[in-house]
Amino acid sequence: MSYQSVQKVRVKVPASTANLGPGFDSLGMALNLYAWIDMAISDQTTIQLLGDQMNGIPTDKTNLIYKVAQMVFQEAGVVYPELEIAMYSDIPLTRGLGSSASAIIGALAGANALIGNKLTSYELFQIASRLEKHPDNVGASLYGGIVVAFWDGERAESIRIEPDVNLEVLVAIPAFQLSTEKARAVMPKQVSMKDAVYNLSHSSLLVAALSTGNLGMIRHAMKDALHQPYRAELIPGMKTLLEQAEDHGALGVALSGAGPTMLALVDARSGQKDELEAFLKGTLAKEGIEAETLWLKPSQEGVTITLLQENDGDLQSRVEGGVLV
């Protein structure tokens, strides 16, 4: 197959929330909080990390973005060992907002664009699911909107749902980090048939509610028996939020991915937005947990690519000029 390589690309990739309560490892939603990656084929590898979110991330060839880009080249049968990479992100790390999935999708899409999109989006989704193991975050960052997906250890499949125009998302991001490994380690290895059926029925109903815009059904459907009851012990205040957020104006409430961020779905027309935000913050504060709240929307778009020209500013000048869109 012939293809043309391009000089330099800028990738914009959304954050994501996984599970949405009952859809453990299978339901995700892209959020309008973004990371940007500039990538160019070069004769010497340089990795520039911009902003406050990047502390501790390596800047040598062990960097995740560099390594994932090399996987794309390998899969496509080309050799470009040296890359110029710059990254800026508004997505907090290790908080349950899919920062690593965003990095993987950004690197896959950027490297693929550099070689003229030799791989399809579907192929990128397969690689990303193999790397992340959970297709919910990577699917949402890749395709945007709401994504229903599976990964069976060999292949991943997904369908995208258009988010309802009135859907808003309130997240409360605790100041502490929680690794996915730790949040998965507290879960039981086996579950009862009763709990399995509980989640099947609630997750199916939630997908139907989100597909049909039946926002009133979310409060009944967004309930989980597989992971949240166990993870609640890691996040003081979570149990109260799960039990009471709907009384304060949420359509539904869940742990975002593996946490510790808590997420409420909200009807944009609700008159209780301030009340809900105060309830989330106040409940966590009572437990001594400082949390930042953010009002977000589902991101309609997944990863997007711009081919950069000579006179386009570099990522650093864009960040410093406050002109990243």
Copy the structure tokens of residue 28: 């995700």
The pattern of x and - marking residues 216 through 255 that bind ligand HSE according to CB under 6 A reads: ----------------------------------------
Beta bridge partners of 9: 39, 307
Binding residue (CB under 6 A) for ligand HSE from 9, 13, 19, 241: 19
> How does 144-171 read in b/e, with b if 16+ C-beta sit within 10 Å?
bbbbbbebeeeebebebbebbeebbbbb
Give the residue among 216, 265, 262 at the shortest CA–CA distance from 239.
262
Residue 134, both tokens: 């959970």
As a whole number of Å, the end-to-end CA separation of the chain is 34
Residues of this chain, 25-64, that bind ligand HSE according to CB under 6 A: 25
Let me know: does 41 contact 5? Beta carbons within 8 Å.
Answer: yes
Q: Which is closer to ligand HSE, CB of 104 or CB of 183? A: 183
Instruction: Give me 75's structure tokens.
Output: 């899969």
Q: Give the 3-state DSSP-derived string for 279-294, with helices as H, strands as E and coil as C.
A: HHHHHHHHCCCCEEEE
Residue 137 lies near ligand HSE (rule: CB under 6 A): yes
Residue 180 found at the interface with ligand HSE (CB under 6 A): yes
Looking at the Cβ atoms of 135 and 145, the one nearer to ligand HSE is: 135
Among 38, 136, 224, 267, binds ligand HSE (CB under 6 A): 136
Tokens 């560099």: give the residue: 66
Binding track, positions 254-273, relative to ligand HSE; x by CB under 6 A: ---xx---------------
Q: Which one of the spans 121-129, 160-168, 179-187, 268-276 is the region binding ligand HSE (CB under 6 A)?
A: 179-187
139 is a site residue for ligand HSE (CB under 6 A): no
Residues that bind ligand HSE (CB under 6 A): 18-19, 24-25, 134, 136-137, 180, 183-184, 257-258
